[in-house]
Structure 1
Amino acid sequence: MAVESELSTPSAAPAAAGVPASSQRLVAHLPEHLTQRLARYVTGANGDAVEVRSPADDAVIGSVPTHTTDDLTALAARARAAQREWAAWPLRRRRAVVQRFSDLVLRDSALAMDVIQAENGKSRVDALEETLDVGVYAGRAARLAPAALRTRRHRGAYPVLTETVEVRHPLGVVGIISPWNYPFTLAASDAVPALLAGNAVLLKPDLGTPYSALLTLALLREAGLPEGVLQIVIGDGPVVGDALIDHVDYVMFTGSTATGRHVAQRCASRLIGCSAELGGKNPLVVLPDADIAAAANGAAHASFSNAGQLCISMERIYVHEAVAQEFTAAFVAATESLRVGVGASWDLDVGSLASAAQLERVQAHVADAVTCGARVLTGGHALPEAGPFVFAPTVLTDVPQTARLAREETFGPVVSVYVVGSEAEAIARANDTDYGLNASLWTRRRSARAVARQLEAGTVNINEGFAAAWGSHGAPMGGWKSSGLGRRHGVAGIAKYTESQTISRQRGLPVAPWPGLPRAVYARTVLAAGRVLARWG
């Protein structure tokens, strides 16, 4: 039976193009039959049940069983048994499963948006972006997989006589630890390439947002994924997360830099690989020749999407003094025009923060900045009338470097504006951070790419905030400096879930002194050949 008929909410009947006919209701609660059905996809769990609360009103929307550290042994054994069969499938068959998953995500888009909003609190349009990203990326990854996993020929030690190929093998069991801010995208878009490469996956979502990961599993199972190839691990990160690392062959982690360091150290102690997308304090640079209206509107979207709870959103804006007054006025106006609240209305631009802890962090950063001398141009306060964890989109200026807001990742709807006297100063200040995840550059000059190359970030968007680079799924995405290790997306995002193996076949002469040939003659011959090979390959 299709997941849509088993899990869909009564009010989620899709209209044309998968858009709900009526989406004005408050998506704070999911029907009990839906949460119970999703919870059944948690297997092998012997821990206590945990309640899941909606940020829209802090009410319980369901509960899921949790795993103990002892449960991980059985889950890993089941994954290893399932992985052997899954890896034996031809790639075309694994690709077909992922392509069907892509189709199902887009078919059930209203359901996916309901689940994301209920457990995360983001706006409907942000939930749409997340759902669309999963559907499109899964299809793109299925098309990229042959290029990432194909056997490659390489030049051998001896031309003609040495035949060398590189083959790719799945790692085995991949552990994925995904965060709460994009619970559907970051669960699915990391699981899909690992599965395409022939691995089994143990996926641990954040304890506060399990249903999006469970929906990922439900749709993959409907698409034809065998049992045990993907399993969801539910539990507290410091406990179950560490146990997960101890049972897998590779880890993909998305979260804070502090936790990323811990994950990397634990992986290193086992000599297993890891990839991590970590924190960011992303800069946006506005040069004098920028389209100011477009830059102001783009900066508002780049700073306040998902209520600023986005690793690649903007938190620092450097604007050239020649256009600083015009840009700041337009940016404040664009910020104040944003419609804030919780619910499924398409008219809302900015939703809720995900928890009381996030609200407290944002309030603390703003209060500290003001105490240090910063000025609030707009916002700067909570909006309890809109929701218990809603915070107004906030723009500050005159933020000193002594403020926490100047150096630490806030991860909320707060951005600071700084005036600079030159392009060189803008680049230097943009790069003056421990982070290097994403950057945004606004200019109309033809040499924009040359300027972008000077920004120390894994992705740079010209005349966009973050969506252009993130949505270019064929290109790799990841961080520099303290913003991460490895890459997701592109061929690299699939190949990282494999081990490469080099196989060489030698014919005729050995790669050693030749029988019957004097060593001095051999030496002259191979040195002459070596000079040719070194220069001409």
Structure 2
Amino acid sequence: MDRNNTPSSDVVTPWRRAVIHRHEAGFAAWSEQDILARLSVIRGLRHRIAENAFDLVASLKSRPARQAAESISAEILPLAEACRFLEREAAGLLAPKLLGRRGRPVWLFGVEAEVRREPVGTILIVGPSNYPLLLPGIQAVQALTAGNRVLVKPAPGCGAPMVLLGRRLEEAGLPPGVFRVLDESIDAAEDAIADGIDKLVLTGSADTGRAVAERLARHLVPSTMELSGNDAVFVLPGAEVELIARALAFGLRLNGSATCIAPRRVFIPSGMAADLEAALLSHVGSLPPVPVSLPTRRRLAILAQQAVAEGARALTDLPREDSQAMAPLILADAAPTMAMLCEEIFAPVLSLVPVMDMEQALDAAAACPYALGASVFGPQDEARTLAGRIDAGTVTINDLIVPTADPRLPFGGRHASGWGVTRGAEGLLEMTQVKTVAIRKGRSRPHFAPPRQGDEALMLAALRLLHGGRGTRIAALRRLVQAVRGRSVPDEKHRKG
């Protein structure tokens, strides 16, 4: 360090390493390619995904309880659709935006401006275990489309689909080294951060997000984080109880309920609660137990016992620590302040909260720190109105989870559920950094001249003419004309003085 506390030139800081990475041959060749050339690689990847789908299914061995049809529908097909979305939309989204005359300040006459989107540089993607292909896969293809170099740190036991994705990308023409899969250890991500990255995209728990955010802050590295959820379901009067029960059973079944936007808290009018309880039991009784980790089972056993002690009713058996698999747990008469309804849960758990009306439901939902997704069931117009008041990143009406697979939709949470978005146009733009370019035409540069007498009156008159009320503008126009003619009239305040 020199006396100004700045790094000496022979010290390679993470920031300088990131700059060095940007000048590596493979990355430079990729980032400087025309967008259509980059999209030809994405198109080639999509074709290979379709032609080799069962190779990808076989690579998803970390989800042993999932059938091939579910892997294809939940991970592989949405990934292919995300590629096609980029092929159709990315060129327009990433093209420089020329700003015309409309909205340009009059005192900037002769200036043309444009907004450009450029690659961030090296992006580290930290993937989850529940959807080890879909989530990091979409983030990776968006980052690559934007011209970035991508490092992926898979969750433990989930590296195979990312390795296979990298192989398919290189077969499609991606230069070697532009997409790299790290080992699955925490140290791999920490080493990448220390070595120098330009952005991090994380899908994980809130606790992991906090720890990583603190680490990134020391290096001033930006991030996008999709963190935990404890999703709410709002039931409006007039909603079809049978449809709701089928939807909730689907949410408990899909991927073993290890889905960040699976339903967890159901706010239902008190008069409808008994009917929903009966309908739910008729649908979840046939759902098979699913594997749940020992730490999660232990925590759930405590939370469930606490909830029952506080007045909740268990409609199904409470989880047991001595069993590796867990059947769905449904609690009725739950209160929004119970710990079960305020923590992140990755297991088939559902709590029914009776409410008087949707005002009480919104207040109850706010007791939870997570705000990733929510669903509303009921008449469409009322549901749309309620959706506008729900504090969540994603709201689905009369359905669960599946509509979020639309590649046009951005996805992200609020509060303890993270920040920033992935997917959709907004997710692609998050993989870029903004550069503005302004061009002054002609030879006139009046602002280069030193201040002159009368400039104050001229500027005040212009300000009032452009931004004052009607009477102010008329008076200002007279003053402006006089100021331009060199006969500036003193400001009223100065005149009184």
For this structure pair, what is the TM-score category when the shorter chain's length is used for normalisation?
0.7 to 0.9
Aligned residue among 144, 147, 151 for 2:92: 147
Alpha carbons of structure 1 residues 209 and 367: separation in structure 2 relative to 1, 3 Å: farther
Could you tell me which residue of structure 1 aligns to residue 226 of structure 2? 277
Whole-angstrom distance in 2 between the partners of 1:207 and 1:308: 19
Residue 453, structure 1, aligned to residue 453, structure 2:
no
Whole-angstrom distance in 2 between the partners of 1:535 and 1:136: 51
Alpha carbons of structure 1 residues 252 and 89: separation in structure 2 relative to 1, 3 Å: same
Could you tell me which residue of structure 2 aligns to residue 255 of structure 1? 204
Residue 242, structure 1, aligned to residue 190, structure 2:
yes
Could you tell me which residue of structure 1 aligns to residue 79 of structure 2? 134
Structure 2 residue ranges without an equivalent (≥5): 1-16, 470-497
CA drift of 1:187 comes to 1.6
Structure 1 residue ranges without an equivalent (≥5): 1-72, 342-350
CA drift of 1:179 comes to 0.9
CA drift of 1:396 comes to 1.3
Whole-angstrom distance in 2 between the partners of 1:464 and 1:82: 44
Could you tell me which residue of structure 1 aligns to residue 4 of structure 2? none
Whole-angstrom distance in 1 between the partners of 2:449 and 2:321: 85
Question: 1:97-130: per-residue Cα shift (whole Å, max 9, x none)?
Answer: 11221222222222222322x2122422431211
Aligned positions of 1:153-232 closer than 5 A: 153-154=98-99, 156=104, 158-232=107-181
CA drift of 1:401 comes to 5.6
Whole-angstrom distance in 1 between the partners of 2:299 and 2:86: 36
Question: 1:241-286: per-residue Cα shift (whole Å, max 9, x none)?
Answer: 2222222110001101111112222222211210000011111011
Alpha carbons of structure 1 residues 483 and 515: separation in structure 2 relative to 1, 3 Å: same
Alpha carbons 1:288, 1:322 under 8 Å: kept: no
Could you tell me which residue of structure 2 aligns to residue 40 of structure 1? none
Alpha carbons 1:79, 1:230 under 8 Å: kept: no
Whole-angstrom distance in 2 between the partners of 1:313 and 1:279: 11
Alpha carbons 1:187, 1:216 under 8 Å: kept: no
Q: One-letter code of the match for 1:184? A: L
Aligned residue among 32, 45, 50 for 1:106: 50
Alpha carbons of structure 1 residues 200 and 381: separation in structure 2 relative to 1, 3 Å: same
Alpha carbons 1:382, 1:392 under 8 Å: kept: no
Could you tell me which residue of structure 2 aligns to residue 417 of structure 1? 352
Alpha carbons 1:431, 1:455 under 8 Å: kept: no
Deviates more, 1:241-250 or 1:311-320: 241-250
Alpha carbons 1:365, 1:405 under 8 Å: kept: yes
Whole-angstrom distance in 1 between the partners of 2:125 and 2:339: 31
Aligned residue among 435, 440, 448 for 2:375: 440
Aligned residue among 315, 318, 321 for 1:380: 318
Aligned residue among 248, 253, 256 for 1:307: 256
Could you tell me which residue of structure 2 aligns to residue 65 of structure 1? none
Alpha carbons of structure 1 residues 100 and 368: separation in structure 2 relative to 1, 3 Å: farther
Whole-angstrom distance in 1 between the partners of 2:259 and 2:309: 26
Secondary structure of the 2:390 match is coil
Could you tell me which residue of structure 2 aligns to residue 487 of structure 1? 421
Alpha carbons 1:178, 1:205 under 8 Å: kept: yes
Whole-angstrom distance in 1 between the partners of 2:465 and 2:45: 51
- For the aligned residue pairs, the C-alpha RMSD in angstroms reads 2.8
- Number of aligned positions between the proteins: 446
Q: One-letter code of the match for 1:434? A: P
Alpha carbons of structure 1 residues 531 and 245: separation in structure 2 relative to 1, 3 Å: farther
Alpha carbons 1:94, 1:196 under 8 Å: kept: yes
Question: 1:369-402: per-residue Cα shift (whole Å, max 9, x none)?
Answer: 3455432212434699xxx743112211233566
Seq. identity, %: 28
Aligned residue among 60, 63, 78 for 1:120: 63
Whole-angstrom distance in 1 between the partners of 2:251 and 2:139: 23
Secondary structure of the 2:45 match is helix
CA drift of 1:462 comes to 0.6
Whole-angstrom distance in 1 between the partners of 2:78 and 2:440: 47
CA drift of 1:141 comes to 2.4
Alpha carbons of structure 1 residues 79 and 244: separation in structure 2 relative to 1, 3 Å: farther
Could you tell me which residue of structure 1 aligns to residue 330 of structure 2? 395
CA drift of 1:215 comes to 1.8
CA drift of 1:362 comes to 3.9
CA drift of 1:526 comes to 4.6
